[in-house]
A and B are shown apart, each in its own frame.
Chain A
Amino acid sequence: MKDFQVYLLGVGEFQAQLDSPTQGVHRLSAQDDAFSMLLIETEAWFPHYDYKEIQEDILAWTQERPFTIFTTLSSCDGDMRTATTNLRGPLVVDWEKGKIRQFVLYSGKYPLKAVLAGKEEN
Chain B
Amino acid sequence: MLLLSRRPKESIRIGDDIVITVLEVKGDTVRLGIEAPQGVTILREELYKQILSENMAAMQARPKEEK
* Interface positions of A (Cβ within 8 A of B): 8-11, 21-22, 25, 27, 35-38, 57, 60-61, 72-79, 83, 86, 88-89, 102-104, 106, 112-113
* Interface positions of B (Cβ within 8 A of A): 38-39, 41, 43, 47-48, 50-52, 54-65, 67
Contact in complex: B58, A72 (CB < 8 Å)? yes
CB distance from A74 to the nearest CB of B (A): 4
Contacts of A25 in B (CB 8 A): 63
Contact in complex: A74, B39 (CB < 8 Å)? no
* A74 and B51 contact, Cβ closer than 8 Å, known pairs A9-B41, A57-B38, A60-B38: no
CB distance from A40 to the nearest CB of B (A): 11
CB distance from A47 to the nearest CB of B (A): 22
